[in-house]
Structure 1
Amino acid sequence: MLLITAALTLVRLVALFATPLELYPDEAQYWLWSRTLDWGYYSKPPMVAWQIWATTAIGGDAEPWVRLASPLLHAATTLCVYGIGRRLYGPAAGFAAAALYILMPAVQLSSLVAATDSSLLLFLALSLLAYVELPAAEGRRRLWLAAGFGAATGLAFLAKYAAVYALIGLALHLVISRQARTVWSLKTGALALGAFLLVLAPNLAWNAAHGFATVQHTAANAAWGGRKLFNFAELGDFIASQFGVFGPIPFAVLIGGTLLLAVRRRLQPADLLLLCFAIPPLLIVTVQSFISRANANWSGAGYVAGAILVAAWLIRWRARWWLTGALVLQAAVAVVFMACVLTPSFADTVGLSNAFKRGKGWEQLTEEIAGRALREPPGSLSAVVVDDRFMFNAAAYYGRDYFGKDREPPLKMWVREAHPQNQAETTEPLTAALGKRVLAVSLEPAYRAEMAADFRSVSPTEIISVRLDKKRKRKAELFIAEGFAPQPRDPVTGKPPIPRQP
């Protein structure tokens, strides 16, 4: 397992340094956070920024170093999966579970981007490893494992608040398993809780000092405001996506095996333990997709336990060919994905270009914007302002040597509504002092007239575009705007008034 993990991780590291794909805007935003270390940020806990700070401190700010932690974290998670599987079912199941995990399509993608899931899954795996080791431990070792469980769960919360599923899994297992309850004592419980709160306390304090911004953003993501209550299309899309991110055979085995063994009452204690950690994320997010919406990776907190269950069941059922088929299929998907990452034109050939469009064109578009700003007389622009958070994040990264440097205009964000709706609007809003004469950049056609209405005068619009592939372009509308004087926002909706048509 060590050899396989090392080999696949090496391949991923080579791909990181060889791919021409650019940072997508969320990655650029995490890089921005890493420039100022803190205990929390507008939309995420701090772990992703910390890991980017660590790797870029070593190698600089180029894309591979921004992403470098992800394949290393997934490699560590793979070894934890092996350890959990070995403890619960034996070395063969541990090996199969680790192989399924490291070849999982979601892990393939997550290993090559800077995102929150890589650290979340590692710390969830560490907490689960400590949990399954507890029953066999005695004396001081049991105390250390209890503290380790609490600390790892706290670190998972610092990665992503989806770590709450670990607490749900723990509570569920303690409720339904008498054997699980006998493992814990007042001392071990106090140690676990104390370690958890000690790790999480700085983030809680940061949230309290910032109006619980991250918690509110997470809750808003989960809400269904403005959407109809029952969304069969969203439900179907989410369920279908799980076959893609978890793997078609493993996901079918996970759902089918759970139903079959539950009906026949043949669940072993280890099965029950893992189901408590694997099923709640999947079930809760499935319900959320029905009443609102859900991204495919929102159930990711169950991937670790789910991979171990699938491997254990296939080995128990002696379904060698199904296990082999699952690994071969996921390895084939990994090869195709790697080919697309290394040669984006191959993605065009196989019809997958749409999946990679967010990693293209941002650098060139930023260069076009900076070039247009440079055509203005030196010192005449007070700012470059954009109306799209994706464009702001990408321009902040790819224009890091231009915007705000050597007397060049700073990059600012136009705030559309009465209150900030994202990190860029919160930390870098356009103000009257910087709105005297700006280069305005609009990626949202619906917002262009609204943004222009916030200025006393604007020039005719110029259009720039960057080709992403044979079918797609990314366009931006540019104009010079003077005298920033925002229109009053609607007191109920917070939105700007509808501009009058000329």
Structure 2
Amino acid sequence: MARAASLTRPDSDWSAALLLTAGLTLARVVALFRTPLQLYPDEAQYWLWSRALDFGYYSKPPMIAWAIWATTALGGDAEAWVRLAAPLFQAGATLAVFALGRRLYGGAAGFAAAGLYALMPAVQISSAVMATDAPLLFFLGLTLVAYAELQSAEGGGRLAWAAGVGAALGLGFLSKYAAVYAVIGIVLHLIVSREARRAWTPGAALIAIAVFALVLAPNLAWNAAHGFATFHHTAANAAWGQGGVNPAGPLAFLASQFAVFGPIPFGALIAGLGLAVRRRALAKPDLLLLCFTLPPVLIVAGQAFLSRANANWSGASYLPGAVLVAAWLVRWRARRWLAAAVATQAALAAFVLLALAQPRIADALGASNSLKRVRGWSETTRLVIDRAQAVQANGGLSAVAVNDRFLFYTLAYYGRGYFGRPGAPPLVYWLLTASPQNQAEMSAPLTLALGARVLGVIYEGFHHREMLADFAAVPWREIDHIGLDRKHQRRIDLFIGEGYRPQPRDPVTGLPKPSSSRPTPP
């Protein structure tokens, strides 16, 4: 593991990495505070979770809610403060990339790795929205740094780095269960590397496992108390075998990695793998990083064959992959390719920041469709609140019931000054199935006690027949549209529902049972 370059000018190495990270982070934060784009519904969901801190939630571990609680406690609930932790986590991940690359290959490769990672297309998006990938990548970065240091540590230092591996890995699991890829990477490295097995003394292994279990224990306890809801949701999200296999899925997924990882870096990764196979030899640091880079890509490609896969599901490979690609390009003396990769990704990063601050740029380039879910939610909320106030003034209102989680969470966020106010109706979720499918259905369901006179809100016409049929009378109904841009609108159906009495339906699918004969209200 080369350290000569990093030992010659350690201060300048770190100064350059800090300058790069600070400059990008400042630009990202400025863009967050200037953007007119509204919260994505998942971001609104995480914000709502942060109002009631816990050790777990229906679909995700708790780290994202904790992070939002911290930033909004500092600056308030505006969109930029909800998202602020995202660029900060990615700043930490970039420094972890530099530290890992410098530790394994020297300062030049470490700085190149930091540049490739920080400018990676997927990282640009992850820095602009508050999602689980940013904290996951930060803690995976810390895990890899501690793991790399452990390989040559001795005595008390070995035990300290082992504890660091356990702590960082536990925090990674509290961010997103995709941290399991790090466990797979460690196990794979132990299998293929004799040196890795020697580094793990029984004492070091015991300390790492104990610290990991201690960090993760509160989330496991929460899941046990809630029927392991998060684990069930994660398994259901994979949807293996549902609807048959998808032979073209792996190729489509691998093609998407050129977009999220970067075309030149992902091409270099494939080329490096080809060379390693042909030569049947790998340097020890290369082997370590490959054990962490390949499993997410290959496993998610398999998932794409069995069902479906999003491009970012292999996100655990981004950080070790960036270090490995940078090391290979430096070793191959492929300076032009490295410069082209950095320049290409820097141009894309600049475009993302400009489009974030000025979405009209994206509109002008025909990218409006990619922004439609971060527009129009405050206007949608204003429409719903206006109707709720009118209905309440003319006969009373027992609840505002929605049939879509996007609507529920964005109404909760943008209607935070109305819902929960004394005298305001509660915001609740109409249930299609008996078993909860998300946190809103579990925590705020429409009940018989709240169903006397409801303002129903239907998103894009989804399940409108089933929802209307659950009320004895529907004396009023209207259809509205919220303009998002020149081409896109959001349809919102509003109705007054009286006498909530849900029809018998299949508890899993929500389909009407044969015995149900109640007519659907007009």
Whether TM exceeds 0.5 here: the answer is yes
Which structure 2 residues correspond to residues 327-338 of structure 1 after superposition, within 5 A? Answer: 327-338=342-353
After TM superposition, give the deviation of residue 473 of structure 1 in Å. 0.4
Match of 2:273 in 1: 258
Q: Does 1:356 align with 2:376?
A: no
Which structure 2 residues correspond to residues 185-200 of structure 1 after superposition, within 5 A? Answer: 185-200=201-216
Report the AA paired with residue 318 of structure 1. Answer: R
Match of 1:214 among 227, 230, 233: 230
Match of 1:84 among 100, 108, 133: 100
**1: distance between equivalents of 2:355 and 2:247?**
33
Q: Is the 8 A contact 2:468 2:474 kept in 1?
A: yes
Q: Judging changes above 3 Å, is the alpha-carbon distance between structure 1 residues 184 and 429 closer, same or farther for their aligned structure 2 residues?
A: same
- 3-state SS of paired residue (2:312): helix
Report the AA paired with residue 52 of structure 1. Answer: I
Match of 2:424 in 1: 408
Q: Is the 8 A contact 1:454 1:487 kept in 2?
A: yes
Match of 1:93 in 2: 109
Q: Does 1:176 align with 2:192?
A: yes
Which structure 2 residues correspond to residues 132-281 of structure 1 after superposition, within 5 A? Answer: 132-224=148-240, 226-232=242-248, 234-281=249-296
After TM superposition, give the deviation of residue 460 of structure 1 in Å. 3.8
Match of 2:390 among 359, 375, 391: 375
Q: Is the 8 A contact 2:401 2:446 kept in 1?
A: yes
Q: Judging changes above 3 Å, is the alpha-carbon distance between structure 1 residues 338 and 394 closer, same or farther for their aligned structure 2 residues?
A: same
Q: Does 1:440 align with 2:446?
A: no
| TM-score, normalised by the number of residues in structure 2 | 0.94
Match of 1:39 in 2: 55
Q: Does 1:399 align with 2:405?
A: no
After TM superposition, give the deviation of residue 261 of structure 1 in Å. 1.3
Matched pairs, number? 501
Q: Is the 8 A contact 2:35 2:357 kept in 1?
A: yes
- 3-state SS of paired residue (2:485): coil
Match of 1:124 in 2: 140
Which deviates more from structure 2 when the two are superposed, residues 182-191 or residues 374-383?
374-383
Q: Judging changes above 3 Å, is the alpha-carbon distance between structure 1 residues 492 and 189 closer, same or farther for their aligned structure 2 residues?
A: closer
Match of 2:13 in 1: none
Q: Is the 8 A contact 1:386 1:414 kept in 2?
A: yes
Q: Does 1:314 align with 2:329?
A: yes
List alignment gaps of at least 5 residues for structure 1.
none
Report the AA paired with residue 177 of structure 2. Answer: Y
**2: distance between equivalents of 1:275 and 1:192?**
22
**2: distance between equivalents of 1:225 and 1:239?**
20
After TM superposition, give the deviation of residue 346 of structure 1 in Å. 1.2
Which deviates more from structure 2 when the two are superposed, residues 425-434 or residues 401-410?
401-410
Report the AA paired with residue 379 of structure 2. Answer: Q
After TM superposition, give the deviation of residue 307 of structure 1 in Å. 0.2
After TM superposition, give the deviation of residue 266 of structure 1 in Å. 3.1
Match of 1:418 in 2: 434
Match of 1:73 in 2: 89
- 3-state SS of paired residue (1:480): strand
Percentage of pairs with the same residue: 61
Q: Is the 8 A contact 2:408 2:427 kept in 1?
A: yes
**1: distance between equivalents of 2:143 and 2:173?**
11
Report the AA paired with residue 200 of structure 1. Answer: L
After TM superposition, give the deviation of residue 112 of structure 1 in Å. 1.1
**2: distance between equivalents of 1:116 and 1:377?**
39
Which deviates more from structure 2 when the two are superposed, residues 431-440 or residues 133-142?
133-142
After TM superposition, give the deviation of residue 353 of structure 1 in Å. 1.1
Q: Is the 8 A contact 1:70 1:114 kept in 2?
A: yes
| TM-score, normalised by the number of residues in structure 1 | 0.97
After TM superposition, give the deviation of residue 337 of structure 1 in Å. 1.1
RMSD (Å), alpha carbons: 1.4
